[in-house]
């Protein structure tokens, strides 16, 4: 079960439905000009922005250091891929009416420490089913203290605040249900062959496509809430791949020329999550157990498990009714929850 988060946020007035969509934060002006993918000379950029050529160079280098692939040559600077802008209004327009009516806040930040941190800071004020996106995270989080690395305006990283009438003791298996909802939504967008590696990774042929991080708060017996952080690789530049410590997959590979826009992907993910989270609230993980078996990327494989009890090996044997991993070992069946544990297929 995910480690609970203790809610210490200040009480504020909940946001109104009339302000469900917040305006997108502004991106750097130089990136706005480069966004079409056309080539722009340094002097032209400096003239249009009213700054020096040296200042343009510094901004370009900062964006490159963050992972954006910007070419430079005799003709000037050019993004290797046109900027796929994330726009809350465009996302909202793609949502079914029933989802729009039930949505809380929908917003995008150009740059933020972490979408989950933002949700946690505002957990008392945000309405149920609020979604916070960011083009760029300075401190995106993964499980076990890892950092989620993503270039600006390239992939999808967002968090959802979901409130539950029951306590967080009943939320075991939530990360698995979320993973299933995300995989199904991406499959509907043209990304086939997505599996789930317990407890929170989306994979394609063992290469990581995305991840889920859940932080819980509220009362043990209820009510409670979950801040659900999700990161999806949409288009990972070669330089970023080289910096990662494991193979990764992205939707550009899986979808090819049919890759949807980030706005279309965001709308599909929101639609799938809203429905699945309501199902989980009503029926728990039991409603997802059968579907999990179909996407279980570890089933029947020899795995190495490292948890608080020490490391051991065995054969993955699915999950139990609570979503805990079952491992068949020489001394019998062991059950592993998702607190602080590492699982690796051999």
The helix (H) or strand (E) run that includes residue 2 is none
Q: What is the pLDDT of residue 13?
A: 30
Cα–Cα distance for residue pair 63/61, rounded to 1 Å: 5
What's the pLDDT tens digit per position in 144-155?
556 666 788 899
Rounded mean pLDDT, 97-111: 94
Looking at the chain, the domain(s) classified CATH 2.30.30.100 span 298-345
Model confidence at 22, in pLDDT bands (50, 70, 90)? low
Highest mean pLDDT among 29-43, 302-316, 320-334: 320-334
Q: What percentage of residues in the chain have a pLDDT greater than 70? A: 89
What is the SS3 assignment for 177?
Answer: helix
* Structure confidence at residue 314 (pLDDT): 94
Do the Cβ atoms of 157 and 137 come closer than 8 Å? Answer: yes
Contact yes or no for 305/287 (Cβ under 8 A): no
| H-state helical runs in the chain | 29-34, 42-49, 53-65, 88-94, 97-102, 115-121, 174-188, 238-243, 251-255, 262-283, 289-295
Q: Is 295:191 a contact under the CB 8 Å cutoff?
A: no
- Is 1's pLDDT higher than 60? no
Instruction: Write out the catalytic residue numbers.
Output: 143, 208, 344
Residue ranges, CATH 3.30.930.10, the chain:
17-24+85-292
Q: Where in the chain is the domain with CATH 1.10.10.10?
A: 29-79
Compute the mean pLDDT over every residue in the chain, rounded to the nearest whole number: 87
pLDDT of residue 9: 28
What's the pLDDT band for 24 if we cut at 50, 70, 90?
Answer: very low
Give 298-345's CATH code, choosing from 2.30.30.100, 3.40.640.10, 3.40.50.720, 3.40.50.1820: 2.30.30.100
Q: Does residue 169 register a pLDDT over 50?
A: yes
Question: Residue 48 has what pLDDT?
Answer: 93
Q: Say how far apart CA 149 and CA 141 lie, in whole Å.
A: 9
Report pLDDT for 19: 44
Q: Which CATH architecture has domain 29-79?
A: Orthogonal Bundle (1.10)
Q: Report the pLDDT value the prediction gives residue 150, as an integer from 0 to 100.
A: 78
Residue labelled with tokens 């009503």: 282
pLDDT at 244: 81
**Residues whose CB is less than 8 angstroms from the CB of residue 49 and which lie 6 or more positions away in sequence, other chains included:** 29, 30, 33, 56
Class of domain 17-24+85-292: alpha beta
Whether the predicted pLDDT of 338 surpasses 70: no
In this predicted structure, the answer to whether residue 12 has a pLDDT above a threshold of 60 is no
Q: Is the pLDDT of residue 278 over 60?
A: yes
More confident residue, 339 or 246: 246
> Is the pLDDT score of 8 beyond 70?
no
Say if pTM beats, i.e. exceeds, 0.85.
yes
- pLDDT, position 140: 60
- Stretch 249-264: mean pLDDT: 96
pLDDT at residue 145, as a whole number? 52
């Amino acid at each position: 079960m995910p480690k609970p988060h203790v809610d210490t946020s200040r009480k504020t007035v909940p946001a109104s439905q009339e302000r469900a969509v917040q305006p997108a934060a502004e991106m750097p002006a130089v990136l706005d000009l480069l966004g079409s993918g056309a080539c722009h000379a340094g002097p032209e950029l400096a003239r249009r922005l009213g700054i020096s050529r040296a200042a343009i160079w510094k901004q370009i280098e900062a964006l490159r250091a963050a992972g954006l692939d910007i070419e430079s040559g005799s003709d000037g600077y050019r993004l290797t891929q046109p900027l796929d802008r994330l726009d809350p209004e465009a996302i909202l327009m793609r949502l079914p009416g029933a989802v729009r009516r039930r949505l809380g806040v929908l917003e995008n930040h150009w740059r933020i420490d972490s979408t989950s941190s933002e949700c946690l800071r505002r957990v008392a004020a945000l309405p149920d089913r609020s979604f916070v996106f960011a083009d760029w995270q300075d401190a995106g989080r993964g499980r076990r203290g890892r950092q989620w690395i993503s270039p600006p305006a390239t992939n999808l990283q967002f968090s959802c605040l979901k409130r539950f009438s029951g306590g967080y003791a009943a939320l075991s298996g939530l990360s698995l249900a979320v993973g299933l909802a995300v995989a199904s939504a991406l499959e509907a967008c043209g990304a086939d062959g997505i599996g789930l590696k317990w407890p929170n990774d989306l994979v394609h042929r063992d290469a990581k496509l995305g991840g889920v991080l859940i932080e819980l708060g509220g009362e043990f017996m209820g009510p409670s809430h979950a801040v659900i952080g999700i990161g999806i690789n949409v288009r990972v530049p070669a330089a970023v791949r080289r910096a990662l410590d494991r193979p990764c997959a992205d939707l550009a590979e899986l979808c090819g020329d049919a890759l949807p826009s980030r706005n279309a992907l965001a709308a599909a993910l929101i639609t799938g999550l809203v429905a699945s989270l309501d199902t989980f609230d009503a029926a728990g993980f039991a409603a997802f157990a059968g579907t999990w078996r179909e996407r279980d990327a570890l089933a029947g494989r020899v795995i190495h498990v490292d948890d608080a009890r020490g490391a051991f090996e065995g054969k993955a044997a699915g999950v139990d009714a609570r979503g805990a991993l079952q491992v068949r070992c020489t001394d019998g069946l062991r059950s592993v929850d998702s607190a602080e544990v590492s699982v690796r297929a051999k």
